[in-house]
A and B are shown apart, each in its own frame.
Chain A
Amino acid sequence: KAGVTQTPRYLIKTRGQQVTLSCSPISGHRSVSWYQQTPGQGLQFLFEYFSETQRNKGNFPGRFSGRQFSNSRSEMNVSTLELGDSALYLCASSSPTALAYEQYFGPGTRLTVT
């Protein structure tokens, strides 16, 4: 089975711009979660989607949004980028059922905001 894929792998943006990151989960998985990882804060939960619905949400401002498509692929969007948004963004997929247990992570998208 192919693993979780994320595109692009690297991205450089300037302050004020917006960015869209993409995640393709493992075939059959219906839950997709997004995380932001920085050296100071560790892995911070952004949101989780299951069957196109946001099921859980972390404590991030409204500039961070996401969606999931009917084929379980997911995108996250960050508008009005700030320098502090520079981070590794990780996507994880989990489970073909409603109960999501272990998570399978993609390689991440490294976002640099200048």
Chain B
Amino acid sequence: SQKIEQNSEALNIQEGKTATLTCNYTNYSPAYLQWYRQDPGRGPVFLLLIRENEKEKRKERLKVTFDTTLKQSLFHITASQPADSATYLCALGGGYQKVTFGTGTKLQVIP
């Protein structure tokens, strides 16, 4: 069955640095890959979607890459701020495919 792994449960970085989060998957060929942010006690919030035929997508300080050969996506937050502290979830699927989420990486940006 499909499996999604996010590189670590927690990641601490210094304010101003670039945070890089990893999402690896197996036994699946998703047409879409999505990233969400979740704050404690709240539902996830959509950030970016990238299609299988796209290598990279950007939105303000966010950048996502999608390598279907490596079965991996990287999610970058440049010039990180304490307000970026949250749990970030990778999700596979969309379109007609069901959406399956990873367990998330908790990012802490230290001032």
Contacts and interface: CB of A to CB of B under 8 A. Distances in A.
A85 B97 CA distance: 25
A107 B44 CA distance: 9
B43 A107 contact: yes
Mostly helix, strand, loop or mixed at chain A's interface?
strand
Nearest to B95: A99
A90 B101 CA distance: 13
Q: Is the interface of B mostly helix, strand, loop or mixed?
A: strand
Interface in A64-114: 90, 92, 98-108
B104 interface: yes
Interface in A20-70: 33, 35, 41-43, 45, 48, 55-58
A105 B94 CA distance: 15
Please tell me the size bucket of the interface on B: 20 to 34
Interface residues on A, range: 20 to 34
Contacts of B94: 99-102
B54 to A, nearest CB: 13
B99 A45 contact: yes
A103 B42 contact: no
Contacts of B98: 33, 45, 48, 56-58
A101 B32 contact: yes
Most chain B CB atoms below 10 A, which of A45, A92, A100, A103? A103
Interface of B: 32, 34, 36, 42-46, 49, 89, 94-104
